[in-house]
Amino acid sequence: MASEVLKALTDKKSKHVVGSLNNAEVRTINQGAIAEADIDNYMIVELGFNEEGERTFKLLSDVTHKGYLVASPENYMAELGENISGFFNGKGERGRIVIQDFGKRFECSNVVASDGSSAIKNGMEAYFDPEKKQFIVDVKKSDSKLATAGNKYIVVDVEGNTLGGQQTIRLEVAM
């Protein structure tokens, strides 16, 4: 017999950003940080502290600020049909915060061309735009935000990578 609880647990939800870290050794903030609001993985965040002195994180507030990558591990419940595209960092949950070291790589599904349609190619430069919640690849070499961006990346792999049914593009931390 069906139940509302089972239906709620098994219905498909909206897709969230997916990605993966591509280095065995990454530096993380000890004990992570607590999300101030719901936020997808593979976003650039800034850190703070709450009233109890616990470290917190929220979406980067300004494209010119240096930030950290939120990349929390997903805990699947495969028997309920859960997919990686359904995960996000919930408000009040502790997330894994990755320090962005030069040369470290990750791939994610929230990478787009600056003009919205041009092909993205290896070697192109990118930055994180907190307003769009996306990594913007400067395909025309004319995006003024790239020059002042606090978080810059190089596209290193665009060849048909998918994760959870979403295409991902691999980036390398440039500075």
CB burial readout 51-75, b (16+ within 10 A) else e: eeeebbbbbbeebeeebbbbbbeee
Amino acid identity of residue 147, one-letter, is A
User: Which of 3-12, 37-46, 89-98, 154-163 has the weakest average pLDDT?
Assistant: 3-12
- Mind giving me the DSSP string for 60-110? -S-TTS--EEE-PPP---GGGT--GGG--B-TT-EE-EE---TT-EEEES-
CA distances from 25 to 38, 104, 105, 170 (A): 27, 9, 11, 17
Q: What is the DSSP letter of 139?
A: T
pTM: 0.89
Note the pLDDT tens digit of each residue in 23-42.
Answer: 889 999 999 999 999 999 99
Report pLDDT for 170.
97
Banded pLDDT at 1 (limits 50, 70, 90): very low
- One-letter identity of residue 22: N
92 dihedral zone (left: phi>0; alpha: psi -120 to 50; beta): left
List the helix and strand counts (H, then E) for the chain. Answer: 2, 13
d(CA 164, CA 144): 33
- Centre a 10 Å sphere on the Cβ of residue 175 and count the other Cβ atoms it contains: 11
Q: pLDDT tens, 65-111?
A: 999 999 998 877 777 777 788 889 999 999 999 999 999 999 999 99
C-alpha–C-alpha distance, residues 33 and 93, integer Å = 8
